[in-house]
Amino acid sequence: MTSSDRRTVYLDHAATTPMLPAAIEAMTQHLARTGNASSLHGSGRAARRTVEESRETIAAALGAQPSEVVFTSGGTEADNLALKGLWWARLAEEPRRRRILLSGIEHHAVLDPAVWLAQHERAEIEWLPVDELGRVRPDDVRRAVEQDPESVSFVTVMMANNEVGTLQPVREIAALAREYDIPVHTDAVQAVGQIPVDFAELGVDAMTVSAHKLGGPYGIGALVVHKETKLTPVLHGGGQERDVRSGTLDAPATAGFAVAVEHAVKQQADEARRLTELRDALVSGVVGTVEGAQLSGDPAGRLPNNAHLSFSGCEGDSLLLLLDARGIEVSTGSACNAGVAEPSHVLLAMGYDDQRARGSLRFTLGHTSTRADVDAVLDNIGPVVERAKSAGLQNVGRNT
């Protein structure tokens, strides 16, 4: 079999998942139509109708009101709008509120805006600890808040970690923060479609969602914002989206987004059962096949599609490339910065040493995943790990 004949096994759905055919169809239909949703003529009103019907569909699926759904260009913009918008709105009313509470395992779309606020706006970042399973504990949040409740601007804790899949007690954190009138933001990008997500029931003030993580198009997401929560805009212009997020609305993308969200939420329970079965087969097969392989994250409270594994004596980047050469696409637990592999900040925050943090892979399944995909991993992971270990030993020999 040649490389061109080999079937690609795609197990990186946490990075992006293939668009659903129904979402492609909905988006394609609207791409052929002209109209700016802010225009008053017939074509503009038709585009506006598409946007508002999409907003209603998304809101219903997420347990929110339509007016609470603010469309953005994706998860990164939504996180930036949440953090900066909350920070400036709170500071304008109460200048003492300069403390931002967040965990060290957040996605960089949350970490980097927080650090930017510290560097440029004199925010005071307070890192919430996580345990060895990657969990933020409500008691730690309470202790941090009670040091000086009136100095806290907001709390941000993701619903599910994008690397190790651990679920966070967001509902409990939101309830305790509410006692002190402190808003809570959660990045739910990895959670929607994987676990039940109800905005009103969670009790948070803002929640980030992204379309391409659940079968929708790239380049669109939303920040779900409670109707009473004040946000200072990050973008200024035409005043779209409640005057919170200016910019011409992408009507075709909203249509695809709505179809994807509705489908993901309707199929969530059945799909979670299917993916859990595949994930457990993958984990037990790898751990039973490869000496020293370990599961990371919470073995019980985790996303149904996530299997994050570490391999002793290996570099994650080497494992990824060796699997890729065999047609199996996964993700590494480390980030590559300017060509230099760095240990994952998530794993380091969980207390892993550099070696384990570097030698990790993330396998994430999705709506196209099958048992044949899992079997392909199990057939190849043993030889790949042995080769990666050999390469590592050779490198050590050359450097001594």
Among the four given CATH numbers 3.40.50.740, 3.40.640.10, 3.20.20.80, 3.30.70.580, the one describing domain 21-266: 3.40.640.10
Model pLDDT for residues 248-293, shown as the tens digit of each residue: 999 999 999 999 999 999 999 999 999 999 999 999 999 999 999 9
Q: What is the pLDDT of residue 2?
A: 43
Stretch 378-384: mean pLDDT: 97
Question: Where do the domains of the chain lie?
Answer: 9-18+268-399, 21-266
**Helix, strand or coil for residue 263?**
helix
Model pLDDT for residues 16-48, shown as the tens digit of each residue: 999 999 999 999 999 999 999 999 999 999 999
294-311 burial code (b ≥16 CB/10 A, e <16): bbbbbeebbbbbbbbbbb
User: Would you tell me how many other CB atoms lie within 10 Å of the CB of residue 3?
Assistant: 8
CATH second-level architecture of 9-18+268-399? Alpha-Beta Complex (3.90)
Write down the pTM of the prediction: 0.94
Amino acid letter, residue 70: V
Q: Is the dihedral of CA 314, 317, 321, 323 positive or negative?
A: positive
From the list 96, 336, 370, 371, the catalytic residue is 336
**Helix, strand or coil for residue 208?**
strand
Domains 9-18+268-399 and 21-266 share a fold: no
Model pLDDT for residues 133-188, shown as the tens digit of each residue: 999 999 999 999 999 999 999 999 999 999 999 999 999 999 999 999 999 999 99
User: Given pLDDT bands bounded at 50, 70 and 90, which one contains residue 340?
Assistant: low
Cite the beta strand spans of the chain per DSSP E. 9-10, 69-72, 99-103, 124-128, 152-156, 184-187, 206-210, 221-225, 294-295, 306-310, 328-329, 331-332, 335-337, 340-342, 360-364
Q: Is the dihedral of CA 217, 326, 337, 100 positive or negative?
A: positive
Please, what is the Cα angle at 249 between 245 and 252, to 5 degrees? Answer: 145
Please provide residue 247's backbone torsions phi and psi, each rounded to the nearest 5 degrees. 140, 145
- Judge whether 314 counts as a catalytic residue: no
